[in-house]
Amino acid sequence: MDNRTPLIAGNWKMHKTSPEAVETAKALVKLVADTTDVDIMIAPVFTALDPVSTVVKNSRVGLGGQNLHWEKEGAFTGEISAAMLVSAGCQYVIIGHSERRQFFGETDETVNKRIKAAIEAKLIPVFCVGETEAERDADQTLSVLDKQVKKGLEGHSEGNLSSLVIAYEPVWAIGTGKTATKEQAQEAHQYIRSLVETDFGDALSNTVRILYGGSVKPDNVTELMQMPDIDGALVGGASLDAESFSRIVKFK
């Protein structure tokens, strides 16, 4: 994977109250204290960000939001802005997760605006793409990725995407225990990297980190990470437990 530093990210979804999140974060900070050459991020629920930020400060663990709104402030009940995430201690934000797309009406257009807002606020966007099972069965995987990546990044320039992280998460593999094979994942990652190269050039396509997500566990992470275009993992279920997540972080 060339010189790309792997990123292992934990998406805690709608799990853990603040005290529970703090407890898990404390355990994780200890378990990964001796790691090097890997970036680590956890994304707890919004209400836990501030207390967890105190726990992870000056540790190996970074902090991320699970979503953000593109406006700076205003009458947008239930939403949160980039500046609010930054002030709660975040360096990262997950954007366009398939659960947002499936259950909350997220579209490629809104994903595009959220990525812009994240970059303006100097948050690292973790931009999620991936096909459903029906789309894979209909042989549409690459065309779905093509549309999601192009529309999500439309109007951006190479210069402002330097921190971009993309997460390939086949919807059929999320929370199902069905992981993509390392060959299926590699094919998708290589294709996504080629899309970045076409639209933004070599330099960005060589440095952009592409994570795999979908039932990543301690016992399958190592073989996935051996693939040349897999630069890390976005982990749901197995990130909720500090011990299992730390084993994924230490995939080598």
Catalytic (active-site) positions: 97, 169
Closer by beta carbon to ligand PGA, 192 or else 238: 238
Adjacent-strand bridge partners of 66: none
Shortest Å distance, C-beta 175 to ligand PGA: 4
Shortest Å distance, C-beta 12 to ligand PGA: 10
What is the number of the residue whose Cβ is closest to ligand PGA?
Answer: 236
Other Cβ atoms less than 10 A from the Cβ of 58: the count is 6
Closer by beta carbon to ligand PGA, 169 or else 229: 169
Closer by beta carbon to ligand PGA, 205 or else 232: 232
Distance CA 145, CA 189 (A): 10
- Give the tokens for residue 4: 């790309």
Shortest Å distance, C-beta 11 to ligand PGA: 4
Shortest Å distance, C-beta 169 to ligand PGA: 6
Q: With beta carbons less than 8 A apart as the criterion, state whether 72 and 114 touch.
A: no
- Give the tokens for residue 171: 């919807």
Residue given tokens 């995939």 in the structure block: 251
- What b/e sequence results for 106-135 when a residue is b if at least 16 CB atoms lie within 10 Å of its CB, and e otherwise? bebebbbbbbbbbbebebbbbbbbbbbeeb
Residue given tokens 């094919």 in the structure block: 187
Closer by beta carbon to ligand PGA, 152 or else 236: 236
Closer by beta carbon to ligand PGA, 112 or else 215: 215
Residues that bind ligand PGA (CB under 6 A): 11, 169, 174-175, 213-216, 234-238
DSSP assignment of 189-225: HHHHHHHHHHHH-HHHHHH-EEEEESS--TTTHHHHH
Q: With beta carbons less than 8 A apart as the criterion, state whether 48 and 26 touch.
A: no
Closer by beta carbon to ligand PGA, 153 or else 238: 238
Shortest Å distance, C-beta 230 to ligand PGA: 14
Burial class (CB within 10 angstroms; exposed 0-12, middle 13-18, buried 19+) of 171: buried
Shortest Å distance, C-beta 239 to ligand PGA: 7
Other Cβ atoms less than 10 A from the Cβ of 77: the count is 4
